[in-house]
Amino acid sequence: MTTPPVHGVEPPRSLYVHFPFCVHRCHYCDFSVHRTRAPALEDWFECLDLDLDGWFRLTGWDTPPEVETVFIGGGTPSLLGSEMGRLADVLKKRFRWDPTSVEWTAESNPASLSRAVAESWREAGVTRLSVGVQSFDDDVLCWLGRLHNASGARRALAVGRSAGFEDINADLIFGLPETVPRDWQTEVDSIVEAGVTHVSVYGLTAEPRTPLGRRVESGVVRMVDGERYAEEYLSAVEALAEKGYVQYEVSSFAQPGHECRHNWHYWDGSSYLGLGPSAHSYLGGVRLWNVFRWEAYRRALKDGASAHEDYEVTGAGENRMERLWLAFRTNRGLSTRDPLWQSAWTSAGDLLEAWSEAGWVVRSGDSVRLSAPGWLRMDELVAALGARMQEEQKDTGSRNGDGIRKTDRT
């Protein structure tokens, strides 16, 4: 790999830190996870330091940049236990943040979130707790290969509240095969009753190389059909809206004032820096990603090599597609006044008209955004718009996947 061209770039607004350890791998998970009961914390802290050394060498930053959000994802960050304060010390050697305004999220698994851990995280400065609930049905949790049961999930949410977290997110997975009985509506109601300020609702996917993916490939498991998938998604959208949650992104629902600022930085094209195996960064138009597996990441850094596996400098056409994709994920959508899109509105006017009539697109004032039924068709809508743009400019990029799929499921 050649040296990434990031010398002198603007520092990031957000920091992401990947904690790669899990006690057990859930059946659907394809994240960068190292399965162990004894996380190699000393090595992990040392590697974070080395990863940071590399970044400051590459960029030439000579004073600690100020960040607005910090996100500790995984893996299972709750296996860090009460070492969150130590992580804060490692990060504060290189970055600064205002403790009165920073949004600092840490993900947790109900199986390892004790009251003592939650309290120590509050003391360390964590402001937002994310709990991987996934379901309130013991059979569903067992089928997913989760370590906790429904009462464990309820207990974890209660622990978070009693430790003083005002911002709590709960993840829920929908779209399970029809052979897995489940009362989805009751589960959505339960998450609301648990008093969380934020809910992330993700559709199950059968990723290759996961136990679930193999079972689907061999025909043992059949994934849910599109109709039921849509029904579950739209029923969650409706139920959460009734309880005052605003859907501000395809998978994200928040009580007013409780949106995740960190994720907004991904969607609005801001810069961010990622540490740890598999972490991605975006700085000055350069996208970089770290070595995926923990062992390879650890070995690379300890051998004095870079944590980065590779990088790409995105071109104007690709940036435009990326912005289209990211903006359509959110309820802000795109502005028709933005010069970047002027020609697209002209060339795709008939598409937008048809989608608006179908109820997939909402046009209000200067903005165009997707509705919930539109989000279910995000792939095809963005691809169709992209194709028009491609015809017009011959320089577009492409993306795969639908936006409701998970970015993290601790």
Is 25 a binding residue for ligand SF4 by CB under 6 A? The answer is: yes
Site string for ligand SF4, 131-160 (x = CB under 6 A): -x----------------------------
Task: Indicate whether 33 belongs to the interface with ligand SF4 (CB under 6 A).
Answer: yes
Task: Candidates 74-82, 199-207, 285-293, 332-340: pick the segment binding ligand SF4 (CB under 6 A).
Answer: 74-82
Q: Which of 26, 50, 106, 279 binds ligand SF4 (CB under 6 A)?
A: 26
- Tell me if 67 contacts ligand SF4 by CB under 6 A: no
Between 396 and 410, name the residue whose CB sits nearer to ligand SF4: 410
**Sequence letter at residue 198:** H
Residue type, 357: E
Our finding on whether 125 is near ligand SF4 (CB under 6 A) is: no
User: Shortest approach of ligand SF4 to residue 132 CB, angstroms?
Assistant: 6
Q: Which is nearer to ligand SF4, 59 or 210 (CB)?
A: 210
Which of 13, 308, 369, 409 binds ligand SF4 (CB under 6 A)? It is 409
Say how far apart CA 40 and CA 393 lie, in whole Å. Answer: 50
Closer CB to ligand SF4, 78 or 396, in the complex: 78
Residue pair 98/44 in contact (Cβ under 8 Å)? The answer is no
Nearest residue (CB) to ligand SF4, 13 versus 27: 27
Can you tell me the distance from the alpha carbon of 259 to that of 252, in angstroms, rounded to the nearest whole number?
Answer: 8
- Tell me if 212 contacts ligand SF4 by CB under 6 A: no
Segment interacting with ligand SF4 (CB under 6 A) among 18-26, 294-302, 338-346, 360-368:
18-26
Beta carbon nearer to ligand SF4, 132 or 274 = 132
At its nearest, how many Å lie between ligand SF4 and the CB of residue 32? 8
* Spatial separation of the C-alpha atoms in residues 307 and 276, rounded to whole Å: 8
Q: Rounded to the nearest whole angstrom, what is the least distance from the CB of residue 22 to ligand SF4 in the complex?
A: 3
Taking the least distance from each CB to ligand SF4, the nearer of 109 and 263 is: 109
* Site size for ligand SF4 (CB under 6 A): 13
Name the minimum Å distance from CB 408 to ligand SF4: 7
Token couple for 267: 């969607």
Side chain identity at 236, as an amino acid letter?
Answer: A
Phi, psi for residue 201 in degrees, rounded to 5: -115, 115
Residues of this chain that interact with ligand SF4 (CB under 6 A) are 22, 25-26, 29, 31, 33, 74-76, 109, 132, 409-410
